Amino acid sequence: MSELIYKEETYKIIGCCFEVYNELGPGFLEAVYQEALSIEFTKQGVPFIEHAEMNVFYKGIILKKKYYPDFLCYDDMVLEIKAMENLSPVDEAQLLNYLKGTKKPLGLLANFGAFKFQYKRFANTRNFFAHNLR
């Protein structure tokens, strides 16, 4: 079995998410969790950019339209946050498409809206290895 990419970074990001969830609980709008997570990332020393402008590629061509993830952490990890009852396959497909279109190697989907914090990790491994061979 292959080793997880960005294992320690993922652990730190998810730890920050748990800290925010444990403090606020469910029921707030996504923007509240985003602001609190920005504070927690700063406190915990997680490098991040909110709504970073990212290029989207189509057959090797950069599109004019850009993608703005909730967070770009450690320069290569996309974090999308939600505040809904449950994550759906549509949310997962959206994040997978973001990874494919931006060629980022790892995505995290975090949901603060449920009565139990939820997260999913998605690796774009083909692009990860191409990215690191340059």
pLDDT over threshold 90, residue 133: no
For residue 126, name the pLDDT band (cuts at 50, 70, 90): low
Q: The tokens 């057959």 sit on which residue?
A: 59
Phi then psi for residue 97, to 5 deg, are: -65, -40
d(CA 16, CA 19): 5
pLDDT over threshold 50, residue 94: yes
pLDDT per residue as tens digits for the range 11-36: 999 999 999 999 999 999 999 999 99
Domains contained in the chain, CATH given: 7-133 (3.90.320.10)
